[in-house]
Structure 1
Amino acid sequence: MTDTNLPLDGIRVVDLTVVWSGPGATALLGDLGAEVIRIEGNNRVSRQASARTTNASVANSGWSRNTYPDGKPEPRPYDRTALFNWHARNKLAACMNLETPEGHEAALRLIEISDVLVENNTNGVLEKLGLGHDRLLELNPRLIVARMPPMGMTGPMSNYLGYGPNFNSLVGIAAMDGYEGEPPDSAGENYHMDESAPAGLAFAVLTALWDREVTGRGGLVEFAQAENVMQDIGEFFLDYQMNDRKPAVLGNTDPALLQDAFRTAEDDRWVVVSIRDDRDWAALTGVVGDAGWTALGRTAADRRANSRALRDGIAAWCAPLSSDDVVRRLAAVRVPAAEVMSELRLLADPHLAAREWFKARSHPSVGTYRYPGHPWRADGFDLAFGRPLPGFGEDNEYVYKTLLGYGDEKYDDLVSRRLVTDEQFA
């Protein structure tokens, strides 16, 4: 991975995660130097792309087609999809079908010599596979088992199945997630649980590893994703209890600040402007110049009372200007303003280029592209960013022969029976 001495050098993580929240968490552990090994059955879709996906089948699928290089999933669509690629950096992959005796045996042997297991499947999946955390901790008392059930492992909702937007409804986010003056569902689908979980789970694993240094023992980390994301809207729970006030559907506005997103002269280019206090307002009016509507916002109370009229005035001022011009003028007087950036704009952004945030990496299955960088930096070491993804089964020999000690004859037998392959069948 890297020659740098990283904080998690020597820590091995078994990755049994799917979709976004779990893989995002293990990517962060890999950034810190952990050896993250995905174990994947060739009989299941574990990378959000089926082996049966073809160029023809996605030709008219819009967004789905655009998740593949040049819109072409073939060959090896499970390696080529951006849905998997973005969180696959620094990981290894080995083929283990956990529903076969051979795959189950190999998984147990790998877990026995590992430090962490991360999984974000539905409650009961590990138990059905004979990999419940109680058994694993008997096998390896130093193991940290990090489980990410959406609604927790106990309680009347603990067996709920669903998708990110469904759980948004259960935790209250969907009730406030819409455009101003429109129904709560008007802003489209979003995935707050998946966005919030990776950093939280990675932090929980780090604390468990730290505790293990003191106690010598691992244990279970139960990371209920719904409860975790409720922290992101904690002020609304308190506001309701203290003031009996239900959250309004505010869209891009704010209950305290004068704020909104405004269209500029360029096609589908928007800027966000926030007025925090009287100083910001005076600075904005100095830039805007003589306009009849500015008199409506002299005080914070005026700005709250006349919010719609004031935002209409700012929108009219922004409309004939470029986004760069709006941001430049307001930044010069220290009024918070920024463009609502698209992916194409970010790829061309000079600030990110100067910081070398995007990382150009190559893989035979995908080609060469710029991948999203790390979420943070640290003095004293560089975070790992080696191979951008593991091809399906790319590390079979290393895992089976080097780590598990399988001889050539045993390994070749598994390969001949297609229990160990570098191709996904599902």
Structure 2
Amino acid sequence: MAFAASLSAQAPVDPLFDTFFAAETPAEAQTAAEQLVVAGVDFDRTYARLKKGRVYGDEKRGEYSLRWKSKSGPFFNNIVEVPAAYDPAKPTQLRVQLHGGVGRPSPNPPARGDQSSGVSATARTPNRIEGEQQIYLHPSGWAAAQWWDEEQIDNILRAVDTLKRKYNIDESRIYLTGISDGGTGVYYMALKEPALWSSYLPLNGSIAVIRGPQNGADGEMYGNNLMNVPLYIVNGELDNLYPVDQVEPHIKWFQSMGVPLVFRPQPGAGHNTAWWPTEREPYEKFVREHARVTHPAKLSWETERTDKFNRNRWLIINELRPDASRETELKDRGFFQHLKLSGRVDVTRDGNTFDAKVRDVAAFTLLLSPDAVDFSKPVTVMVNGNPAFSGTVKKDPATLLRWAARDNDRTALYGAELRIAP
């Protein structure tokens, strides 16, 4: 009887959950989330529904485009490839691949066989390297929407979100790769929007391209943002743009910060992908071995903005301020040029205890997931060695649904926001 009553009580919200899962955008999902909160949904049942996720239909296979207009006028033309064997009942890996030659004046791809972008004359479309059976997304970039432009980041994230709402994509296996300028774009994404990606594989690129403001990269870069970024880096010995001897100092810099990486210099190789037949197996192995760690126990993030590019998974920087008593351990390691005030938080989690080192940050937020935190026990937060919070935190359906609407991720569900103002 009690079970039947429970089912009856939940029945009216089933259509609301259907609307939530059918949403085509985060904004539509947020509207549905608000309706669920008004309906008084229970946290644990809602968590279970979100964890299970939507039922995926039999969507289109083959190649097609996701298109929407850019601020400069031309349309983003994001090419999607879905294998014929795609099974909506099984989570599927997604490769996002960024092409080279992003400085061209229009979004139209270069001519087939354009060797400047490292593509053979027999390639079906530019800059594509044969891979395993998975879903592929090939975003489009050009001079007004380069891989290191804010609008381009929005385009890529929008395209991935759109695919996740249609196809059963494995959230733990969405990885980013790119060739030439595309490889440089991989570095930029890692430094600005890391929450989505399982691994990063820049091929024939260089982080030096986005080193200084004169190169047109939006925002400032901070090396410590790479600390949770698994990198697989390939460069050619005789590359006329980014040869191995120019890239090796960057590798040493990464290693000095503890960035997890594999570097695969290619003897005798130029600015092309002639090495792919022999490099493909270790490349694919790296991807397989690096599923995304959704709730890492340690995070580091630095930003000069609080409206955007201020989040790394469960850590958000909300407010900046110059701090007269700076945390001396959080020093800049050079390489990038900085013109603006930035704030940094390094935080570790051990059970329900968070230990944060903070510099020039007035407030930050910890997103607490039932998969990482025991809500039945007190949560403790230390900031620069001083107590900042101690107490129990209540699971909140509104918070759960708000972040689920935004992130569209069955594996990263947050039951509470804990704002810390040290």
TM-score normalised over the length of structure 2? 0.26
Return the structure number with greater strand share: 2
Structure with the greater alpha carbon radius of gyration: 1
Higher RCO (C-alpha under 8 Å, 6+ residues apart): 1
Return the structure number with greater helix share: 1
